[in-house]
């Protein structure tokens, strides 16, 4: 029987302005990385995945393609595939012919982009029951009642786990673990530590796509908060912080300025920075440790020949 289920929820707006305002007024000004993903930000991220310097997407895709049969054996058929940060849903869709999921749940904070992506996917795979959830899953993970509790496979590709601090990552993974009842699991992509030039080039590509992605967050904040950021007054910065084991993205003020929004303002001096993203890189042992500290048991790991990226399956 062909079934098609649509449960669609918009992310709640309450609290977003308070969160943004608090970040901008903190001694080290920051904007949480989830705000990078408005409809244009999601498209720019898709473009980042195409630039030669950004190796994670194609490296992970090659691992999934090369080891697909092994991955399918480890996971088994008939899962409820829960795609965390689904974006254009392309990675999960590439697994459908291997994993044969019964249900597909796509979760993303970028609601409009997700809806468009899922509408296309429904046409290609009409036999899979699909659910779209517009949710900020970094804060909480709510699955509606129509999602089967058994055989849930959380799919968290692209090393998005690296955008959390290790403590936040453990909290997040524990929340996912708590949503696994019978026979649940996790299939996760994690970017591994490598030479610093490769890392910093990946976040500062020659075409300036990552710069546009980073700067676009200011347009999004203007829209969400009613702020008056002048995008031309800022420049993209990305570097590897060796001590913390992470790439950091910042926006640097090119001149002194006052930024205003309803109920608040902040002055920035030339050279001041707004921290917009961390992207942690793990050693394999630390990646497995992170999963185990969160209640998962790693069963299989797959890497590319250069050992730049890992895909790990873990049981709940
Ligand atoms: C989504 N996330 C895993 C990307 C990363 O590599 O941290 C976001 C990104 N930021 C700049 N380029 C890509």
The yes-or-no verdict on residue 245 having pLDDT over 50 is yes
How many whole angstroms from 160 Cα to the centroid of ligand 1?
7
Listed as own residue / partner, the contacts of 116-121 with beta carbons closer than 8 Å and 24 or more positions apart are 117/86, 117/87, 117/88, 117/89, 118/86, 118/89, 120/89, 121/89, 121/93
Say what the pLDDT of residue 142 is: 85
Using 50, 70 and 90 to split pLDDT, how confident is the model at 7?
very low
- Say which residue the tokens 């708590």 belong to: 178
Distance between CA 32 and CA 143 in Å, rounded? 23
The yes-or-no verdict on residue 14 having pLDDT over 70 is no
Say what the pLDDT of residue 12 is: 58
pLDDT tens string 100-144: 999 999 999 888 889 999 999 999 999 999 999 998 888 888 899
pLDDT tens string 57-83: 999 999 999 999 999 999 998 999 999
Ligand 1 contact, 38 CB (< 6 A): no
Say what the pLDDT of residue 109 is: 84
Q: What is the pTM of this model?
A: 0.92
Say what the pLDDT of residue 3 is: 34
Indicate the top mutation candidate among 163, 217, 281 to test ligand 1's pocket, ranked by most ligand atoms within 8 A of CB. 163
Say what the pLDDT of residue 2 is: 30
Say what the pLDDT of residue 136 is: 86
Using 50, 70 and 90 to split pLDDT, how confident is the model at 1?
very low
How many CB atoms sit inside 10 A of residue 125's CB? 15
Question: What proportion of the chain, given as a percentage, has pLDDT over 70?
Answer: 96
Ligand 1 contact, 162 CB (< 6 A): yes
Average pLDDT value over all residues in the chain: 94
Angle at which helices 90-99 and 55-66 pack, to 10 degrees?
10
pLDDT tens string 151-166: 999 999 999 999 999 9
Say what the pLDDT of residue 181 is: 87
How many whole angstroms from 183 Cα to the centroid of ligand 1?
30
Q: Are 88 and 113 in contact (CB under 8 A)?
A: yes
Ligand 1 contact, 160 CB (< 6 A): yes
Ligand 1 contact, 80 CB (< 6 A): no
The yes-or-no verdict on residue 197 having pLDDT over 80 is yes
Indicate the top mutation candidate among 31, 58, 158 to test ligand 1's pocket, ranked by most ligand atoms within 8 A of CB. 158
Say what the pLDDT of residue 95 is: 94
Ligand 1 contact, 158 CB (< 6 A): yes
Return the bridge partners of 129, or none: 103
């Amino acid at each position: 029987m062909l079934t098609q289920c649509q449960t669609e929820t918009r992310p709640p707006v309450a609290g977003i302005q308070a969160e943004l305002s608090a970040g901008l007024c903190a001694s080290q000004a920051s904007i949480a990385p989830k705000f990078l993903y408005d409809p244009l930000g999601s498209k720019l991220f898709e473009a980042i995945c195409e630039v030669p310097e950004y190796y994670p997407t194609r490296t992970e895709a090659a691992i999934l393609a090369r080891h697909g049969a092994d991955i399918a054996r480890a996971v088994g058929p008939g899962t409820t595939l829960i795609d965390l940060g689904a974006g254009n849903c392309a990675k999960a869709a590439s697994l459908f012919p291997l994993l044969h999921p019964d249900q597909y749940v796509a979760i993303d904070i970028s609601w409009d982009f997700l809806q468009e992506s899922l509408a296309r996917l429904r046409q290609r795979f009409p036999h899979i029951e699909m659910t779209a959830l517009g949710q900020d899953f970094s804060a909480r993970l709510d699955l509606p009642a129509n999602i089967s509790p058994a055989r849930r496979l959380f799919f968290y590709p692209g090393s998005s786990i690296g955008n959390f601090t290790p403590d936040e990552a453990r909290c997040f993974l524990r929340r996912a673990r708590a949503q696994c009842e019978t026979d649940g699991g996790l299939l996760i992509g994690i970017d591994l530590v490598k030479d610093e030039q490769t890392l910093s080039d990946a976040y500062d590509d020659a075409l300036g796509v990552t710069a546009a992605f980073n700067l676009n967050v200011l347009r999004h904040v203007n829209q969400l908060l009613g702020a008056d950021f002048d995008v031309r007054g800022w420049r993209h910065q990305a570097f590897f912080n060796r001590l913390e084991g992470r790439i950091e993205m910042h926006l640097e003020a090119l001149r002194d300025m006052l930024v205003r929004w309803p109920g608040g303002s902040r002055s920035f001096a030339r050279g001041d920075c707004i921290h917009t993203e961390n992207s942690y890189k793990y050693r394999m042992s630390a990646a497995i440790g992170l999963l185990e500290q969160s209640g998962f048991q790693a069963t299989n790991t797959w890497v590319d020949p250069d050992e730049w990226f890992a895909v790990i399956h873990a049981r709940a």
